[in-house]
Structures are given as C-alpha cells and as structure tokens.
Structure 1
Amino acid sequence: MQDILTLNSISQKGLARLSTNAFNIGDDVEDPTGILVRSAEMKEMELPESLCAIARAGAGTNNIPVDACSEKGIVVFNTPGANANAVQELTIAGLILAARNIAPAVRWMDTLKGKGEEVPALVEKGKKKFVGPELAGKKLGVIGLGAIGVKVANTATHLGLEVYGYDPYISVDAAWNLSHEVHHCVNLGDLYAQCDFITVHVPVTKDTRGLINAQAISQMKHGVRLLNFARGELVETGALISAVRSGKVAGYVTDFATDALIGEPGVVTLPHLGASTPESEENCAVMAADQLQDYLLNGNIKNSVNWPDVELPRVGGSRICVLHKNVPGMLSGITGAASDAGLNIENLVNKSRGGYAYTMLDVSGNVGGGVVARLKGMPGTIRVRII
C-alpha cells in the first residue's frame, strides 16, 4: 500500500481513479510516495525521501520546486489540455470584453441606480461613450498554438475573425487540429504589424518572460487590443500601462490582476477565472490521478515537466526503473547489471530529456538486493525503483 498526500481539495472524480487496493490517500500522511496538488505552495516544503512523484492538477508548476525534484529523481506531472476548453471560452469572452467596452459600461450602469424614470433617457444619452468595434472582419493574432491556443484560433475563425498564428514549436497533434483557415506567421513582427487583437498562450520561461514589452508594443498597430489568459509575467506591466494611456493599446484584458492594473482605464482585470469551472477541475484531477497511478504502479511517464515521456507495455516479470543523469555508459551499465545477475531482459526503453534520462526494463528472474545496490552505486544514478 502506497501513501498519497493531497495538498489541496482534489475532485472526488479524480481521487476515485486511484486504486483503493494500492493507495492510501489523505491530507495527513507523513511519508508519501506521491503527492496530488493544485495551487498549494511547495517551494519551501521539505521533500521526503519516500516521494517518487508529484502530480499537479493544472498546467502551471510555478508552485513546485521542479529543479530540486529533478535532482532527487522525483517526477513532476502536469495536466496540459485538461483545462483548455475552460480557458478558451474565457478568452473568447475576453475578446468581446476588449472590443465592446462591456466592463466600463456595466460599471457606469451601476451609477444610474436610483435615477428612477430618468434611467432610459440617461442610457440613450450616455451609451455612445462605450461604442466598440465588432469582431467580424478583424484580424486576431494567437501567440502559442498549444491545446488552448489552437482552440482559441479555431473558434475565432467561426466568429468571422481572420486569424494569424505563431508558434515555432507547434506539435504535430496541434498542427493536425489547427484549422486550415489560420494563417501561419514565421515571426512575431509580422503578427504584431497586422493584427487588431492579440492573445498570448505560452508558458513563462526565460525566453517568454516579458514577451509583451515596450519594443513589442511599438511594432503593433495603433489601437491594438491585447489579451493575456496565460501568465501575468508574459506582459511588462509598466510598458502596458504606458501604451494604454497613450492610446497605442486600446484595451487590455487579463486574468492576472496586479495592484497597478486594477482600476486602470482601458484595462479589464479578472480574478484568475481561466480554469475555474467544475468541469476543468474534474478533468485536471482525473488526468493527474491517472498519470500518478500509472507511474507508481507501472513506471510509465506521460506529461512530465522534468523527465522524458516513456511508456512500455508490461510483459510480465519484474520492472526495473532507473532515473539517471544523461551521461555515456549508463545504459550499458544498467543492462550489464541485469545480465550479470542472471536476469533475462524481456523489454527495454531508454529516453532522455536535457541532462536527465530514464531507463525501464522488464526482466524475468529474481531481482535481488545485489542488483539494486549495484544500480544505485553507478555514477549518474539518481533513483532506482523495482515494480
């Protein structure tokens, strides 16, 4: 029986995916093999030696010490695409909010409370302050064509927008799912120069942090409207506010509020509602639980942010799982240890990701302590598991 620690309230639909015969699940277990988490901060948490995997029920892993986990041989999973529909729906709402000045119009309407029979006349007189353009016929730029970006781009074509997409790292699956009506931009400059609306759907990395900055905004059309439902750090707040005040940016809608942005004319801030739907929370919990269970029981890795994706069908016998540095000689050392112990290798897979690699092999025969000790003693070995 393996212990699973929950650091947040996890959907019961997700928890129900975990075998009750294999796992003990709770929020107070002391030496967990796995952790299920949503937004709980783990950066300062002491990682127990028993911990093999962390499954984040969501896409972002900023609350998890991923580098430290890699060094300890802890696999960190996320759930890309599980909340894609929820975020794309809110992004489409953001397009309309940006275009039609709905948020300031609603705030103004609230000021008319108590005006009695004057309200209809005041409405007709004041509505011209909130005139905004229709979406149909305008150009939308989508930066990042992952699970969410593809959905946004495809939906936007049905709203009559001419859509331009940019993603130098687009996956094969995403490319297959992308509408043929979406124009491909080979550089951001082309997208900036011609789009009336721009929405960003990329993760925060050292290369994307501050992607929308003063230089980027200077390349955009005057009166462009920007949307950010990905991460707040993608947009430089100071540059954005200056551009809104000058009129260069006609509107900014974001799901990532800061004190500087709240109440700023031309800016609509939302309280991080992107994945806040019961359907999204269930989808994320189910995917996270499935991935965690498959790794702990079978050694398979899917949707890890720090280790390569590796899947191997079980063929019986025992499974040896070795997480190690991506250095020469590891594979031959692992297979040599198995062969020297009289184990017959039935199946094997080895994949790497950056400085780390993962080797799984199914063997027939008794995997004794001597084999495990030899594998753990190899320079470059980080963790050994026998399933």
Structure 2
Amino acid sequence: MTTIKTYNAISATGLNYLKQHHYDINTGESPKGILVRSQNLHHERIPESVRAIVRAGAGFNNIPIDDLSKRGVVVFNTPGGNANAVKELTIASLILAARPVIGAIGFANETRGGDVSLRTEVNKGGYRGTELAGKTLGVIGLGNVGSKVANTALALDMDVIGYDPGLNANTAWRIDRHIVHAKNVAEVLRQADYITVHIPLTEDNKFFIDAESIALMKPNAALLNLSRGGIVDDLAAKEALDNDNLRVYITDFADEALFDHPKVIITPHIGGSTIEAEDTSALMAARELDTYLTTGNIINSVNYPDIDEPFTTKYRIGIIHENVPNMISQISKFFGDNNINIEQLSNRAVGAYAYTLVAINEFNEVQQAYVKTALDEIPHVILTRRYVNVNI
C-alpha cells in the first residue's frame, strides 16, 4: 500500500477517494505524497520518499517550491476548486464596503429599552450607504476567481474594468464582452471605485499594491484583498486610510497593524472555507496525486510542465530533468542503445525544468532493473520513475 501524509483537516471526499484507490493515510514513515491545505511546509522535513505534494487550494506560497523542484518533487494545486466560494465572499465584501452593515447590526443589537422600533428608525440615518449599481469595479487578475467576480459584478449593474498580465485565450472566453480590458494596472487604479485583487503571491508581486499604487486610486475608493496576504502592503493601506486617501480596506488576511481600525474589515482567511469548496478542492487534489503516482501524467503542476497523455502502453518512464539542450537526444539514444523501442515520447518544458514521458511496450526485467539507474546518471536528469499499466 502507498502511504499519503496529510496536513490540516482534509475533506473526507478527498480522503475517501484515496482510500478507495488503495492508499493508506498517515501510516508509515515513507509517504509517497503529501496532501496539504494551509500548513506552512517551509520549516517541515519533507521525507526523501515523497514524489508529489498537492495543495488543496489555489495558493502555494506555503510550500518550498524551489527546494522541492531541485529534488524532483512535483507540486500541484487545485485551481478553480474554491473559486466560487472566494467569488461569493468577494461579492459580500463589496456590499460591506458600500453599506455599513456591520456597524448597523451592532447599533440594532445595542438598542435597549423604550420603543426600540421607533428609536432604530430615528437613528438609522447614521448608517446610510451607497449602491453598487453604476459604480466601477476594478478587477486585477482575471483567472478562475477574478473572472467570476467580474461577471457577477456586471449582474449587479456595475461597470467593470479588468487587467491581467497573463491574459490568454482561455481567460478571454470566461470574461463577459462588456468588461473593459485595461492596458495596465494604473488604468484600473485610476478609474475604479472598488478595487479587488485576485493574483497569486510570488516573489515578483509581493506588495503588488503598495503606497505608489494606492496614490493612484480615488480617495473614496474601496480596496479588497481576498487573494493572499502580502499582495497588499497593509501598512501603506493603513496610512492611506488614516490620511483619508482610501475609504475602506477589506482583507481576508489578519495583520496586527490593521486591528481595531475603524475603516478596516478583516476576515480570518475564510475565502475558500465552504463545505462545497473544501470537498471540490480535496477531490481534485486526490485525483491529481493518484494520477501522477500511477500514470506519470502531470496535471496542474506549479513547478513542472503539465503532460496529460492516455496511458495505452504497458509501461512508462517519467524523466524530470533540467531544461537544457540535447536532453531529448540523449534520452532517445539511451533507449535505442539498450534495444528498447519507444512507442511514444512526450516532452514539455517550463522555465528551468522539463519533463519527458516515454511510452514502452516491450520492457524485460533486466532492462527495467537497469533503466532508472542509467538514466539518472545522464547529466541534468533529476529523477526517473517507472509506471506500470495495471489495466493491460
């Protein structure tokens, strides 16, 4: 039995899938895979036996990607698994930014004695808000979440302007034609009454929204961050709020610098915390992990290229290697020199790394015993794995 280690509370939907596919959960000292949600793995010891780590969610800044990539450990996420949940909380946050609902609830609950109905009617004027209809929403990042937010905002009769530096054909198909595509971030910041950010946290975009960005916004603008802590410079946001250069800041990521600020609303990282999102993300994660460990197919990796080919031969060899010249010819030559016929060879590269998947039918025991050691000795090869098609 193959062991999978888990961190955090993983939905039973994902765990049951793994158990049904003959995996043990949290038994033994040599797991082949790790399934994680928000646990910080940067200071955890990742056993040498681990071949894959899956984040049941979209963000992956809690995983030491660079170190694992050098080891040949494939890291996956589950893009879109919690997109609807985050979208719904973003829409709720837009409403909270427009209407002083939290303060109004507190006022209503604190009203005691006398004619409560009359007193609340007389004093409710202090909780007058504005409508979203007719206002401009700026969406930075038009991926799984951002595109849903943008389309829903149109249904609220908002004008929507969006920007995504990685806009591609798939993204474009998801976005309503009435959404204005900005040429740059500054265009969004200057025009929007409400700004919501939906991009991943990387080294390049830490504090993507900083003091300089906030200075471009309207002084009565509302800023929302339900993406990742660190995307917005919270100290810069606080200073803008204090100087009336920003009206309200809503974030799903707690920061002591923002506590008890009257213009800040903080939620405790609950964007993806719905029963449905946790089930969907856990099932996606379990399937990605099982698919890689049993077929070699890589789907939704964040550090290696995806390859998803039908497993129609008896065997496969998966080779993770550096993205350097002459690797395909060396790999092909090895199989030819050892009289192993290649039925199909797939290769993809992304950044510094590449993945080659070789399909084989005739593969005797001597060749199988030799192939991993020999391939691993080729310069720039990081890891080699053999897969057996149990359905043939």
Task: Report the TM-score when normalising by structure 2.
Answer: 0.95
Task: Kindly report which structure 2 residues correspond to 1:115-126, keeping only aligned pairs within 5 A, or say none.
Answer: 115-126=112-123
Q: Which runs of 4+ in 1 moved over 3 A?
A: none
Letter paired with 2:375: L
1:8 is matched with 8
Structure 1 residue matching 2:18: 3-state secondary structure: coil
Q: Which is further off, 74-83 or 34-43?
A: 34-43
The CA deviation at 1:12 is: 1.8
Q: Which is further off, 151-160 or 170-179?
A: 170-179
1:110 is matched with 109
Q: 1:257 to 1:110 in 2, by over 3 A?
A: farther
The CA deviation at 1:333 is: 1.1
1:73 is matched with 72
2:85 is matched with 86
Determine if the alignment matches structure 1 residue 344 to structure 2 residue 310: no
Tell me the distance in 1 between the aligned counterparts of 2:270 and 2:50: 31
1:47 is matched with 46
1:225 is matched with 222
The CA deviation at 1:238 is: 1.6
1:64 is matched with 63
The CA deviation at 1:18 is: 2.6
Q: What CA deviation, in whole Å up to 9, does each residue of 1:288-340 have, x standing for no partner?
A: 01111110000001111110111121221210110011111211111111111
The CA deviation at 1:104 is: 2.0
Structure 2 residue matching 1:280: 3-state secondary structure: helix
Letter paired with 1:252: Y
Tell me the distance in 1 between the aligned counterparts of 2:234 and 2:150: 25
Task: Kindly report which structure 2 residues correspond to 1:106-255, keeping only aligned pairs within 5 A, or say none.
Answer: 106-112=105-111, 115-255=112-252
Q: What CA deviation, in whole Å up to 9, does each residue of 1:116-170 have, x standing for no partner?
A: 2243343233322222110001110000000000000000000000000000202
Q: What CA deviation, in whole Å up to 9, does each residue of 1:328-355 have, x standing for no partner?
A: 1211111111111111100110111111
The CA deviation at 1:103 is: 1.6
The CA deviation at 1:282 is: 0.3
1:358 is matched with 355
Tell me the distance in 2 between the aligned counterparts of 1:315 and 1:338: 19
1:101 is matched with 100
Contact (CA 8 Å) 1:307, 1:357: kept in 2 or not? yes
Structure 1 residue matching 2:114: 3-state secondary structure: helix
Tell me the distance in 1 between the aligned counterparts of 2:10 and 2:62: 16
2:306 is matched with 309
Q: Which is further off, 144-153 or 47-56?
A: 47-56
Contact (CA 8 Å) 1:4, 1:25: kept in 2 or not? yes
Q: Which is further off, 80-89 or 124-133?
A: 124-133
The CA deviation at 1:266 is: 1.2
Tell me the distance in 2 between the aligned counterparts of 1:246 and 1:311: 52
Q: What CA deviation, in whole Å up to 9, does each residue of 1:74-118 have, x standing for no partner?
A: 000000100000000000000000001112222333332xx2224
The CA deviation at 1:374 is: 1.5
Letter paired with 1:81: G
Contact (CA 8 Å) 1:5, 1:29: kept in 2 or not? no
Determine if the alignment matches structure 1 residue 332 to structure 2 residue 305: no
Contact (CA 8 Å) 1:146, 1:171: kept in 2 or not? no
Tell me the distance in 1 between the aligned counterparts of 2:229 and 2:38: 16
Structure 1 residue matching 2:333: 3-state secondary structure: helix
Q: Which is further off, 218-227 or 238-247?
A: 238-247
Tell me the distance in 2 between the aligned counterparts of 1:260 and 1:49: 39
Contact (CA 8 Å) 1:145, 1:167: kept in 2 or not? yes
Q: Which is further off, 345-354 or 125-134?
A: 125-134
Tell me the distance in 2 between the aligned counterparts of 1:215 and 1:126: 39
Query: Which consecutive residues of structure 1, in runs of 5 or more, have no partner in the other structure?
Result: none
Structure 1 residue matching 2:147: 3-state secondary structure: helix
The CA deviation at 1:176 is: 0.3
Contact (CA 8 Å) 1:6, 1:25: kept in 2 or not? no
Tell me the distance in 1 between the aligned counterparts of 2:209 and 2:123: 34
The CA deviation at 1:20 is: 3.8
Tell me the distance in 2 between the aligned counterparts of 1:56 and 1:231: 15
Contact (CA 8 Å) 2:225, 2:252: kept in 1 or not? yes
Letter paired with 2:105: V
Tell me the distance in 1 between the aligned counterparts of 2:290 and 2:247: 48
Q: 1:27 to 1:19 in 2, by over 3 A?
A: closer
Tell me the distance in 2 between the aligned counterparts of 1:27 and 1:365: 36
Identity %: 45
Letter paired with 2:93: G
Tell me the distance in 1 between the aligned counterparts of 2:40 and 2:269: 17
Determine if the alignment matches structure 1 residue 369 to structure 2 residue 366: no
**234, 253, 258: which one pairs with 1:256?**
253
Q: 1:105 to 1:246 in 2, by over 3 A?
A: farther
1:383 is matched with 383
Coordinate RMSD, CA, aligned? 1.4
Q: What CA deviation, in whole Å up to 9, does each residue of 1:203-232 have, x standing for no partner?
A: 112232112221111111120011111012
Q: Which is further off, 219-228 or 118-127?
A: 118-127
Tell me the distance in 1 between the aligned counterparts of 2:3 and 2:310: 25
Query: Which consecutive residues of structure 2, in runs of 5 or more, have no partner in the other structure?
Result: 388-392
2:390 is matched with none
Tell me the distance in 2 between the aligned counterparts of 1:362 and 1:273: 43
The CA deviation at 1:369 is: 2.2
The CA deviation at 1:364 is: 2.3
Number of residues of Structure 1 aligned to a counterpart in Structure 2: 384
